[in-house]
Structure 1
Amino acid sequence: MTPPRDINEALRGWRLHSLAAGHSARTITSREYTLRRLAQDVDPLTATHDDLVEWLAGLTDHRTGKPVTKSSRATYRAQVRAFYAWMHASGRREDDPAAGLPQNRIPRAHPRPLSRQEVDRLLDACSSSRAAQTRAYVLLACYEGLRVHEIAKVRGEDFHGDVLRVQGKGGLDATLPVHPKVAELAATMPQRGWWFPSPLGAKLPHVHRVSVGQAITRALDRAGIPGTPHACRHFYGTQVLAKSGGNLRVTQRAMRHADIRTTTIYTLVADEDVQHAVTSI
C-alpha cells in the first residue's frame, strides 16, 4: 500500500474503513476532528511516538485554556491509537507510533443528578413561549434519559403508541416506555419528520447536538442550578434505580448501557444521604 500523500487522503481511507466497520457517523466525525486537531501541531503522517506523547501531554480545552480532563485525554489517546493501528495494519505506514502511549487512570465516575426540585425549577425556567423547544429538550433528557445527540435526532416516527425508539451510541437501536410527561409533549409535536429541524436545511436536517446542550445549559443558568445537561440524564438514571427498588438490570435497560458496570455508578450515594441514614437510626 502506498503511503497517503496528505492527511486528507489518509482520512478518506480511514472514513471508508470506519464505515465498513459499522461505526456511527458521530464516531467517525469525532475521530476525524481529533486527527485534524493533531494536524494543527504535528504532521500525523510523519509523527513519532515522542511527538504524540508531547501532544497528548499538552492538550488544552479550547474554551478555557486549561488542561483537558482525564476522560477527554483518554478519548483522544484511544482515537489516535485506532488511527495509527489502521495505518500500520493497512500498510500505509511501516511503524505504529501510537503503540505504548501512556494511559490515564480515570477516577470512577460519580453521577451528579439533578434533584426533583431542581428539575421543576429547570422546567419553570423554560416556561415562556420562546423557550418551548428548550423545555422539550429538558423533558426528553429528564424523563426518557436521552443524550443531547439523541434529542437532536428525535422524529415523530420514533413514537409508536407508548414506546419510543431511540438510536443511541454506536447507532444501536433501543426502545423505551414513553413517560406521561413526554406523551403530553408528543401530542403537541409533529407526527412525522424531525421534531427539531435545523435552519441549515439539507446540510444538517436536524438541530446540532451542541445547540441542544447549549440551550439546556442556558436554562440551567437561568434556574441558578450548577451542572451540565448530562445531569438531566443522571436524574433519570437515579430515579429509575430508586423506583425499581435498586434493580440494576432494569436500570441498565432503561439507561441503555452496554455494560452493567457503567450502571453501577448510580448505586453511589451522596454524603448527605449517608448522614441522613445514620442519624435516622
Structure 2
Amino acid sequence: MKKSIHQYKRSFLIYLEKARGYSDLTLKTYDEALSEAFQSIVIEEKAAGTLFDLMPYRIKIASLKQKTIAKKLSAVRSFAEYLNTQGEHITLKADDSIKVAKTLPKPIPHEHIMEALQTAQTDERLIVIMLYTLGLRISELANLKLEDIENEWIRVVGKGNKQRDVPLLASTSRILREYVDEMRPKKYLFEKNSRKLSENSLRYSVTKVFKRAALKVTPHQLRHSYATVLLNNNARIADVSELLGHSSMATTQIYTKLGSALKMQNYNKAHPLCKETDDTF
C-alpha cells in the first residue's frame, strides 16, 4: 500500500465529511469502528494488490448482536471501496454478509407528543415540533440555517449533501417566527453563543421534554411518527419517501407499517371490482 492505514483512514474521514456531508457523530462512529477493526484484521500484500483478512476480526466480534456486527463490517467495506478509488487494489477475505432482521420503528402517538409539549420551554417546543412536522433527521435540524427557511417551505440538506424542500405547516411557521423573534439567532436556527447547537444538545432537549411526561423518546422516533401519520392518512409512499429524503422507497416501507384494517380499507377503495355488486362474476 502507498500509505499507512492510519493515513488512509484520516483521508477517508475527510472524504466522508466534505464529499458525503456526514455528521460529526457518524464520523466518530466510522473512526472508532475502523480503529477497532484494524487491530485484528490481517493485512497481506499480494502480487495483485492487498488482502484484508477479516476472519480474526469476525471471530473477535462474533458474540455481538447481528445488527452491530453488520454495521462494523459495513464500515470496513466502505473503507475498502474508498481505498480502491485511491488506486489501491483491495480484496476482502471472509466478507460474508450478515443477515439482519428488519425491525419496525415505534412511532409516538400524536396525543403523547401533544401532552409532552405542554410543559416544554420555547426552544424545546420548537425542536420537537420541527422534528415531528417536518420529519427531519437530528443532523438536518442541527444544520438548518435561517436562510433555508421561507414562509411555506424549508430547504433541507440531507445525507450526501442532497437537498429537498419540505412544506412548513402554518402552525409550525408561527411558532418558528415567535422563537426567532425571542431568541434572535444569527445564522443557524438553533444556536448558543452565536454557534450552532450540536446534535447531542438537540437530542438532549428532546429527551428532557418527554422525560417530564414519563416517556422515553428519541428524535428518530419523531421522524418515524411523521412518516407514519402521513402514510396512515393516505399520502403516497413516493411523496413520503421524497419528503424524508430517502434514496429508495424500500427504506420508507421499513419506516412505516400500515395496519391490516387500513390496508383492507385502501384496497376496497382502490380496486375496481370492490365497487361492483357481490354477483359480479
Normalised to the residue count of structure 2, the TM-score between the two structures is 0.75
CA distance in 2 between partners of 1:125 and 1:235 (Å): 20
Contact kept in structure 2, 1:240 and 1:254, CA below 8 Å = no
Q: Is 1:32 aligned to residue 31 of structure 2?
A: yes
CA distance in 1 between partners of 2:3 and 2:166 (Å): 47
User: How far is the alpha carbon of 1:272 from its aligned partner?
Assistant: 9.7
User: How far is the alpha carbon of 1:266 from its aligned partner?
Assistant: 5.1
Residue-by-residue CA offset, 1:82-125 (whole Å, 9 max, x unaligned) = 21344466465x653x4442322222231311111111122124
Q: Which residue of 1 aligns with 2:20?
A: 23
> Where is the strand percentage greater, Structure 1 or Structure 2?
2
Percentage of identical aligned residues? 19
| Unaligned 5+ runs, structure 1 | 59-66, 275-281
CA distance in 1 between partners of 2:130 and 2:82 (Å): 38
Q: Which residue of 2 aligns with 1:261?
A: 250
Q: Which residue of 2 aligns with 1:184?
A: 174
Aligned 1:111-126 pairs, distance under 5 A: 111-126=105-120
Normalised to the residue count of structure 1, the TM-score between the two structures is 0.75
CA distance in 1 between partners of 2:262 and 2:216 (Å): 19
User: How far is the alpha carbon of 1:32 from its aligned partner?
Assistant: 2.5
Aligned 1:24-63 pairs, distance under 5 A: 24-26=21-23, 28-38=27-37, 41-42=39-40, 48-58=53-63
Structure 1 residues 84, 179: closer, same or farther in 2, change over 3 A? same
User: How far is the alpha carbon of 1:137 from its aligned partner?
Assistant: 1.2
| Unaligned 5+ runs, structure 2 | 45-51, 264-281
Contact kept in structure 1, 2:104 and 2:257, CA below 8 Å = yes
Number of equivalenced pairs: 253
Q: Which residue of 2 aligns with 1:278?
A: none
CA distance in 2 between partners of 1:123 and 1:195 (Å): 19
User: How far is the alpha carbon of 1:169 from its aligned partner?
Assistant: 1.6
Aligned 1:176-255 pairs, distance under 5 A: 176-188=166-178, 189=180, 190=184, 192-198=186-192, 205-243=195-233, 245-255=234-244
Structure 1 residues 17, 226: closer, same or farther in 2, change over 3 A? closer
Once superposed, what is the RMSD of the aligned Cα atoms?
A: 3.3
1:57 aligned counterpart, secondary structure: coil
Of the three residues 4, 7, 12, the one matched with 1:14 is 12
CA distance in 2 between partners of 1:209 and 1:33 (Å): 18
1:164 aligned counterpart, secondary structure: strand
User: How far is the alpha carbon of 1:221 from its aligned partner?
Assistant: 2.1
Q: Which residue of 2 aligns with 1:62?
A: none
Structure number with bigger Rg: 2
CA distance in 1 between partners of 2:113 and 2:126 (Å): 13
CA distance in 1 between partners of 2:138 and 2:17 (Å): 23
Q: Which residue of 2 aligns with 1:150?
A: 140
CA distance in 2 between partners of 1:75 and 1:253 (Å): 25
User: How far is the alpha carbon of 1:178 from its aligned partner?
Assistant: 0.5
2:114 aligned counterpart, secondary structure: helix
Structure 1 residues 17, 224: closer, same or farther in 2, change over 3 A? closer
Contact kept in structure 2, 1:53 and 1:101, CA below 8 Å = no
Structure 1 residues 247, 54: closer, same or farther in 2, change over 3 A? same
